[in-house]
Amino acid sequence: MDFAAKRAQLIESLSHEIKDSRVLEVMGRIHRELFVAEPFTFCAYKNEPLAIGHGQTISQPLIIALMTQALELSGNEKVLEIGTGSGYQTAILAELARSVVSTERIPELAKQARSLLDRLGYQNITIHLTGNRLGWEQDAPYAAILVTAAAPQLPHSLLEQLAFGGKLIIPVGSMALQQLYRITRHKEGNLVENLGGCRFVPLIGIEAWENH
Protein backbone atom coordinates (compact mmCIF):
# COMPACT_ATOMS: atom_id res chain seq x y z
CA MET A 1 0.00 0.00 0.00
CA ASP A 2 1.22 3.51 -0.84
CA PHE A 3 1.05 5.02 2.63
CA ALA A 4 2.70 8.27 1.49
CA ALA A 5 -0.07 8.92 -1.03
CA LYS A 6 -2.76 8.07 1.50
CA ARG A 7 -1.13 10.37 4.05
CA ALA A 8 -1.04 13.23 1.53
CA GLN A 9 -4.71 12.71 0.71
CA LEU A 10 -5.61 12.81 4.38
CA ILE A 11 -3.70 16.04 4.98
CA GLU A 12 -5.37 17.63 1.97
CA SER A 13 -8.75 16.66 3.41
CA LEU A 14 -7.86 17.99 6.87
CA SER A 15 -6.68 21.31 5.43
CA HIS A 16 -10.29 22.31 4.74
CA GLU A 17 -10.92 22.56 8.50
CA ILE A 18 -7.45 22.82 10.04
CA LYS A 19 -5.71 26.15 9.44
CA ASP A 20 -2.58 25.69 11.57
CA SER A 21 0.05 24.88 8.96
CA ARG A 22 2.47 23.50 11.58
CA VAL A 23 -0.07 20.91 12.71
CA LEU A 24 -0.72 19.82 9.11
CA GLU A 25 2.98 19.69 8.30
CA VAL A 26 3.78 17.52 11.31
CA MET A 27 0.87 15.16 10.68
CA GLY A 28 2.05 14.92 7.10
CA ARG A 29 5.45 13.67 8.28
CA ILE A 30 4.49 11.21 11.00
CA HIS A 31 3.72 7.71 9.76
CA ARG A 32 0.38 6.90 11.41
CA GLU A 33 0.51 3.32 10.17
CA LEU A 34 3.31 2.63 12.68
CA PHE A 35 0.95 3.46 15.55
CA VAL A 36 -1.94 1.28 14.35
CA ALA A 37 -2.36 -2.40 15.24
CA GLU A 38 -1.27 -4.72 12.44
CA PRO A 39 -4.75 -5.83 11.25
CA PHE A 40 -5.79 -2.19 10.77
CA THR A 41 -2.74 -0.65 9.07
CA PHE A 42 -4.62 -0.46 5.77
CA CYS A 43 -7.07 1.89 7.56
CA ALA A 44 -4.32 4.12 8.99
CA TYR A 45 -5.21 7.14 6.86
CA LYS A 46 -8.96 6.88 6.98
CA ASN A 47 -10.49 9.71 8.99
CA GLU A 48 -11.83 7.43 11.70
CA PRO A 49 -10.83 6.09 15.13
CA LEU A 50 -9.19 2.66 15.28
CA ALA A 51 -8.89 0.11 18.07
CA ILE A 52 -5.46 -0.29 19.66
CA GLY A 53 -6.39 -2.96 22.19
CA HIS A 54 -7.28 -2.90 25.90
CA GLY A 55 -10.55 -1.14 25.09
CA GLN A 56 -8.70 1.95 23.82
CA THR A 57 -8.60 3.72 20.46
CA ILE A 58 -6.39 5.96 18.38
CA SER A 59 -8.62 8.98 17.70
CA GLN A 60 -9.66 9.99 14.21
CA PRO A 61 -7.12 12.30 12.55
CA LEU A 62 -9.52 15.25 12.37
CA ILE A 63 -10.17 15.31 16.12
CA ILE A 64 -6.44 14.90 16.81
CA ALA A 65 -5.71 17.85 14.53
CA LEU A 66 -8.48 19.97 16.08
CA MET A 67 -7.30 19.32 19.63
CA THR A 68 -3.67 19.98 18.74
CA GLN A 69 -4.53 23.17 16.88
CA ALA A 70 -6.58 24.38 19.85
CA LEU A 71 -3.47 24.26 22.09
CA GLU A 72 -1.88 26.98 19.90
CA LEU A 73 1.63 25.69 20.55
CA SER A 74 4.58 27.92 19.65
CA GLY A 75 7.35 25.34 20.17
CA ASN A 76 8.69 26.29 23.60
CA GLU A 77 6.03 24.66 25.80
CA LYS A 78 6.12 21.81 28.27
CA VAL A 79 2.98 19.81 27.50
CA LEU A 80 1.16 17.24 29.62
CA GLU A 81 -0.74 14.53 27.77
CA ILE A 82 -3.27 12.39 29.65
CA GLY A 83 -3.53 9.03 27.91
CA THR A 84 -0.48 7.99 25.89
CA GLY A 85 -2.36 5.24 24.07
CA SER A 86 -0.54 4.31 20.86
CA GLY A 87 1.82 7.29 21.15
CA TYR A 88 0.63 8.93 17.91
CA GLN A 89 -0.72 12.08 19.55
CA THR A 90 2.37 12.09 21.78
CA ALA A 91 4.64 12.20 18.72
CA ILE A 92 2.68 15.08 17.21
CA LEU A 93 2.97 17.08 20.44
CA ALA A 94 6.69 16.30 20.66
CA GLU A 95 7.21 17.81 17.20
CA LEU A 96 5.35 20.99 18.15
CA ALA A 97 6.50 21.61 21.74
CA ARG A 98 9.74 21.71 23.71
CA SER A 99 8.90 18.65 25.81
CA VAL A 100 6.03 16.26 26.46
CA VAL A 101 5.13 14.50 29.70
CA SER A 102 2.66 11.74 28.87
CA THR A 103 0.76 9.55 31.32
CA GLU A 104 -0.86 6.15 30.80
CA ARG A 105 -2.69 3.79 33.17
CA ILE A 106 -2.36 0.60 31.06
CA PRO A 107 1.15 -0.91 31.38
CA GLU A 108 1.11 -2.69 28.02
CA LEU A 109 0.21 0.47 26.10
CA ALA A 110 2.81 2.53 27.95
CA LYS A 111 5.49 -0.06 27.16
CA GLN A 112 4.55 -0.32 23.48
CA ALA A 113 4.38 3.44 23.01
CA ARG A 114 7.69 4.03 24.79
CA SER A 115 9.40 1.40 22.64
CA LEU A 116 8.07 2.84 19.38
CA LEU A 117 8.77 6.47 20.25
CA ASP A 118 12.30 5.57 21.35
CA ARG A 119 12.82 3.68 18.09
CA LEU A 120 11.67 6.74 16.16
CA GLY A 121 14.25 8.86 17.95
CA TYR A 122 12.12 11.12 20.15
CA GLN A 123 14.20 12.46 23.02
CA ASN A 124 11.81 15.07 24.43
CA ILE A 125 9.11 12.65 25.64
CA THR A 126 8.77 11.05 29.07
CA ILE A 127 6.02 8.48 29.71
CA HIS A 128 4.79 7.71 33.21
CA LEU A 129 2.55 4.87 34.34
CA THR A 130 0.12 6.53 36.72
CA GLY A 131 -2.74 4.13 37.46
CA ASN A 132 -5.80 6.11 38.57
CA ARG A 133 -3.96 9.36 39.29
CA LEU A 134 -4.56 12.15 36.80
CA GLY A 135 -1.54 14.00 35.53
CA TRP A 136 2.02 14.22 36.79
CA GLU A 137 2.32 16.81 39.52
CA GLN A 138 6.08 16.44 39.85
CA ASP A 139 6.71 18.37 36.62
CA ALA A 140 3.89 20.93 36.94
CA PRO A 141 3.06 23.58 35.94
CA TYR A 142 2.46 22.86 32.25
CA ALA A 143 1.92 25.41 29.50
CA ALA A 144 -0.62 23.07 27.89
CA ILE A 145 -2.55 19.93 28.86
CA LEU A 146 -4.30 17.62 26.41
CA VAL A 147 -6.66 14.90 27.64
CA THR A 148 -7.34 12.07 25.19
CA ALA A 149 -10.30 10.51 27.04
CA ALA A 150 -13.63 11.84 28.27
CA ALA A 151 -14.29 12.98 31.83
CA PRO A 152 -17.70 13.39 33.51
CA GLN A 153 -16.61 16.83 34.71
CA LEU A 154 -13.55 19.04 34.62
CA PRO A 155 -10.91 17.47 36.93
CA HIS A 156 -9.76 20.16 39.34
CA SER A 157 -6.43 18.38 39.86
CA LEU A 158 -5.52 18.89 36.19
CA LEU A 159 -6.45 22.56 36.27
CA GLU A 160 -4.10 23.00 39.24
CA GLN A 161 -1.26 21.53 37.14
CA LEU A 162 -1.84 24.10 34.38
CA ALA A 163 0.22 27.28 34.34
CA PHE A 164 -1.57 30.62 34.35
CA GLY A 165 -2.15 31.53 30.72
CA GLY A 166 -1.98 27.86 29.75
CA LYS A 167 -4.64 25.88 27.87
CA LEU A 168 -6.35 22.62 28.79
CA ILE A 169 -8.16 20.64 26.09
CA ILE A 170 -10.57 18.02 27.41
CA PRO A 171 -13.74 16.16 26.35
CA VAL A 172 -16.42 16.39 29.07
CA GLY A 173 -19.83 14.74 29.20
CA SER A 174 -21.57 11.38 29.45
CA MET A 175 -20.18 7.99 28.45
CA ALA A 176 -22.00 8.26 25.12
CA LEU A 177 -21.44 11.85 24.03
CA GLN A 178 -19.23 14.73 25.09
CA GLN A 179 -18.34 18.31 24.30
CA LEU A 180 -14.74 19.29 23.65
CA TYR A 181 -13.67 22.18 25.87
CA ARG A 182 -10.69 24.52 25.87
CA ILE A 183 -10.04 26.07 29.27
CA THR A 184 -7.52 28.90 29.53
CA ARG A 185 -6.41 29.42 33.11
CA HIS A 186 -6.29 32.96 34.46
CA LYS A 187 -5.81 34.26 37.98
CA GLU A 188 -8.97 36.34 37.69
CA GLY A 189 -11.10 33.51 36.32
CA ASN A 190 -10.86 30.84 33.65
CA LEU A 191 -11.96 31.23 30.04
CA VAL A 192 -14.06 28.23 28.98
CA GLU A 193 -14.73 27.61 25.27
CA ASN A 194 -16.88 24.86 23.76
CA LEU A 195 -15.22 23.53 20.60
CA GLY A 196 -18.06 21.17 19.65
CA GLY A 197 -19.36 17.65 20.09
CA CYS A 198 -17.12 14.58 20.19
CA ARG A 199 -16.95 10.94 21.32
CA PHE A 200 -14.05 9.51 23.32
CA VAL A 201 -13.37 6.47 25.44
CA PRO A 202 -13.92 7.23 29.15
CA LEU A 203 -11.20 8.76 31.29
CA ILE A 204 -10.61 6.38 34.20
CA GLY A 205 -9.31 7.60 37.51
CA ILE A 206 -9.73 9.95 40.42
CA GLU A 207 -12.10 12.80 39.46
CA ALA A 208 -13.12 10.76 36.42
CA TRP A 209 -14.98 7.49 35.73
CA GLU A 210 -14.53 4.39 37.84
CA ASN A 211 -12.86 1.37 36.28
CA HIS A 212 -15.38 -1.48 36.17
pLDDT in the model for residue 54: 86
Domain ranges of the chain: 3-198
**What are the tens digits of pLDDT across the range 84-119?**
999 999 999 999 999 999 999 999 999 999 999 999
Separation of CA 146 from chain center: 5
Sign of CA dihedral 72, 74, 77, 80: positive
Higher-confidence residue of 56 and 162: namely 162
Q: What angle do CA 167, 79, 96 make, to 5 degrees?
A: 100
According to DSSP, the residues that pair with 55 across neighbouring strands are: none
pLDDT of residue 39: 83
Catalytic residue among 13, 15, 21, 59: 59
- Structure pTM? 0.95
Q: CB-based burial of residue 4 (10 Å sphere; 0-12 exposed, 13-18 middle, 19+ buried)?
A: exposed
Indicate the average pLDDT of the chain. 94
List pLDDT tens digits, range 18-62. Answer: 999 999 999 999 999 999 988 889 999 999 999 898 888 899 999
Q: Which DSSP letter does residue 207 get?
A: T
Say if CB 154 and CB 172 are below 8 A apart. yes
pLDDT score for 212: 52
* pLDDT number for residue 124: 98
160-186 average pLDDT score: 96
For 3-198, CATH gives: 3.40.50.150
Q: Are 101 and 77 in contact (CB under 8 A)?
A: no
Q: Which of 56, 58, 32 lies closest to 44, judged by CA?
A: 32
Whether residue 59 lies in the annotated active site: yes
Which amino acid belongs to residue 109? Answer: L
Nearest to 68 by CA among 115, 22, 130: 22
Give pLDDT, residue 211: 75
